[in-house]
Amino acid sequence: MAKRKVRLAIVGCGTISRAGGPGYVGHPNCEVVALCDPVRERAEERAKEWGIAPKIYTGYDDVLNDPNVEAVELLTPTHMHPSQSIAALEAGKHVSCQKPVSKDVAGADQIARAVKSAKTVFRVTENFLYYPPIVKAKELLDKGVIGEPSLIRLRTTTGRNKKYERIKLEEGALTWRRDPKLNPGGLIFDSGWHRFATAVWWGGGIERISAMITRTPDYLVESPSACIWKYTGRDCLGILEDVLTPQMEIRGKYYPVDDFFEIVGSKGIIWVTRCTGELLDLPPVMVIKGSETTNIQVPSDWMEGFNGAAAGFVDAILKDEQPMMDIAFSKQVLQVTLAAYQASDSGKQVAPSAVK
């Protein structure tokens, strides 16, 4: 017997929908029955782009009042996430919310209260946790291939690439991101979330963090920046680095951004050599053990993470399971991210658990 299809509405048809939408459209057990955007033409453009004929809404309430919609994917600005997530949960919808979960911990706590009383699923969309090379590194860690980890390093390099056009920035996409009242930080908050989520998924909770975040005239640009932290209950440190190379071209199909991840363990080292970009001519995953190096080939296009995230949400609904990035994990990542800013501003170490 064929599985039923999850009837999903995508709310927000701006820039990130070009990455977050196709995985739902292509999933055999999902039907995108509605698109919602305050600019109707934008939703209509996405429907045409994806070859679907959903209902088009310009008001979020219309989505919540549609009995044919059982789940929503919220691809909306961060400051809207708590109110929209809570409204959907109260309307009996399953909710997948774009990262970050909220601009502050109070918003995450409000969602947590709504989740506690809801009968439906809530999760935050985090494509990095479904990106095959990052998933493979997690599998290797859990199997003890490199022994006990002592250092997890995540480096992001932003350069230039005149050829990338697959993810076109929609008009106004950066306006709210540059407003301190709506967004608590620049790219260390918005993009750094991906890396902090990966770091917590790989290494566990973070006891304390230090940081030096560079402020620039452009609110979004916070480079060079570095954060260092100690994991809870283990002799393991983590490092996040964010740098600009404005005169260096970075190969890639989407954004001129390159990621490199390194996990050092007692018996070896794991490298994940890419994510957003494709700068290095190396296998996506490498395991280094002294004189022996094992190259591991897994699908490594950046879109694989988005497609995997979509499948994770749909499959969890059908199996009546909780998908990754629940509200507790999401709050933890938010606290780590905000703690980095507090540490940078104060010049002191900050315990993420103390961020309220």
The CB-side HSE value for 152 (13 A sphere, CA atoms) comes to 26
Which phi and psi (to 5°) does residue 185 adopt?
Answer: -165, 180
Q: Cα angle at 338 between 336 and 340, to 5 degrees?
A: 70
CA distance to 50, 62, 64, 178, 324, per residue, from 57 (Å):
17, 7, 11, 27, 29
For position 166, what pLDDT does the model report?
66
The encoded tokens of residue 89 equal: 């949960």
The model's pLDDT over 258-272, given as tens digits with 9 standing for 90+, comes to: 999 999 999 999 999
pLDDT over 70 (residue 206): yes
For the chain, domains (ranges, CATH) are 6-127+305-323 (3.40.50.720), 129-300+336-346 (3.30.360.10)
The encoded tokens of residue 171 equal: 């008009």
* Residue-averaged pLDDT of the chain: 96
Tokens 């309307």, residue located: 91
For position 163, what pLDDT does the model report?
67
The model's pLDDT over 215-252, given as tens digits with 9 standing for 90+, comes to: 999 999 999 999 999 999 999 999 999 999 999 999 98
For position 167, what pLDDT does the model report?
73
Report which DSSP code applies to 162.
T
* Averaged pLDDT, 141-145: 98
Rg of the chain on CA atoms, in Å: 20
Which phi and psi (to 5°) does residue 317 adopt?
Answer: -65, -45
Q: Global pTM?
A: 0.96
* Averaged pLDDT, 282-301: 97
For position 164, what pLDDT does the model report?
59
pLDDT over 90 (residue 120): yes
The model's pLDDT over 58-107, given as tens digits with 9 standing for 90+, comes to: 999 999 999 999 999 999 999 999 999 999 999 999 999 999 999 999 99
CB atoms within 10 A of CB 174: 15
Q: 161 pLDDT band (50/70/90 cuts)? A: confident
The encoded tokens of residue 123 equal: 């999760």
Contacts 24+ apart (CB under 8 A), 272-275: 272/133, 272/134, 272/136, 272/137, 273/133, 274/133, 274/300, 275/128, 275/131, 275/133, 275/134, 275/302, 275/305
* Averaged pLDDT, 266-280: 96
Is residue 203 packed enough to be buried (19+ CB in 10 Å), middle (13-18) or exposed (0-12)?
A: buried
Q: 171 pLDDT band (50/70/90 cuts)? A: confident
For position 165, what pLDDT does the model report?
58
What is the percentage of the chain residues whose pLDDT exceeds 90? 93
For position 96, what pLDDT does the model report?
98
pLDDT over 60 (residue 1): no
